Amino acid sequence: MKTKITELLGIEYPVIQGGMAWVAEYRLASAVSEAGGLGLIGAGGAPAEFVREQIQKAREVTGKPFGVNIMLMNPEADAIARVVVEEGVKVVTTGAGNPGKYMAMWKEAGVRVIPVVASVAMAKMMERAGADAVVAEGMESGGHIGQLTTMTLVPQVVDGVGIPVIAAGGIADGRGFAAARMLGAEAVQIGTRFVVAKESIAHENYKKKIIGAKDIDSEVTGMSHGHPVRQLRNQMSREYLKLEKAGAPFEELEQLTLGSLRKAVVDGDTVNGTLMAGQIAGMIHKEQTCSEIVREIMAEYEEIMSSFRN
């Protein structure tokens, strides 16, 4: 399938895997790239040298293009920004901040830069700064989110910029892919469905929670202090929301969630861990390989499109 994004990135299918902290390490990223999409290594809060090793490991197992997602709140973001250049990474996506200060260095090195944005203003700013494309991420997504839904954000970003737009948030199957294309997106980014991929190292307990989730099982913490995070409801989210409602200071809430994503992903602690997941968790019913996921989405899309033609 050919779109502006498959052409830009040299990939077979316009499906990009979300750069999820702890989950998106080299095994998941290389499996998605091998399946014809774009795999991403999620730097999350990891040290720069760990990210370098992950890039080297990915390159050992796939000759296909893959990228790195840099979470800009990482204190080592500056060093990671240099590592991607040193290691010759072809694609960088960024999240949770403004990557403007790295743009010149990346452009000079020929890196394709794709910031994740949650507003039209940020998309326009990134286009002016030289971004090759943007991911417009709606609040249906798991993890750190903005305020707009995918349905409202994507077409407004498409109208606001000239560069290709990738839709994210609430997309898990061929219907979501088709809808994103209707809204003007040239590709989709998918996170939660890849958390439960066979190649994902996320703990089985975490995967089971996603597979067992219903439509209304996610909730958003941190809204009151401007750091909203979507996750599956559990003891951790309930306790957080109780403290937040009682007016607890940001520092205390931050202390509560310190290391809690690792607890969920690595230790499988579904009680005290933060089970980041999107609103489409209720649509995910089984563990599949990345190749099965990508092929299924594309087959569903083709079927939808042919049903419209008849």
Residues lying near ligand TUI in the complex (CB under 6 A): 21, 44, 71, 95-98, 116-118, 122, 137, 143-146, 227, 229, 261, 276
Query: Shortest approach of ligand TUI to residue 274 CB, angstroms?
Result: 7
Q: Which is nearer to ligand TUI, 150 or 174 (CB)?
A: 150
In 3D space, the residue among 71, 88, 63 whose CA is nearest the CA of residue 22 turns out to be 71
Closest CB 59 distance from ligand TUI, rounded Å:
24
- Tokens standing for residue 9: 């990135």
**Shorter beta-carbon distance to ligand TUI: residue 178 or 210:** 210
Q: Residue 38 or 261: which CB sits closer to ligand TUI?
A: 261
Instruction: State which H helix or E strand residue 158 sits in.
Output: helix 150-160
Q: What residues contact 146, with CB distance under 8 A and at least 6 apart? A: 117, 118, 119, 137, 138, 139, 153, 228
- Count of CB atoms situated within 10 Å of the CB of 254: 12
Q: Is 156 exposed, middle or buried (0-12, 13-18, 19+ CB in 10 A)?
A: middle
* Residue 114 vs 178, nearer CB to ligand TUI: 114
Q: How far is CA 265 from the centre of its chain?
A: 15
Whole-angstrom distance, CA of residue 5 vs CA of residue 11: 8
By beta-carbon proximity to ligand TUI, the closer residue of 51 and 178 is 51
Task: Give 33 or 189: the residue with its C-beta nearer to ligand TUI.
Answer: 189
CA distances in angstroms from 108 to 97, 103, 104, 123, 263, listed in the order given? 21, 8, 6, 21, 39
Cβ atoms of 161 and 127 within 8 Å: the answer is: yes
Output the smallest distance, CB 137 to ligand TUI, in A.
5
Q: Name which of 34 and 137 has its Cβ closer to ligand TUI.
A: 137
How many whole angstroms separate alpha carbon 238 and alpha carbon 102? 38
Q: Token pair 């609430």 is at which residue?
A: 170
Q: How far is the CB of 146 from ligand TUI (least distance, A)?
A: 5
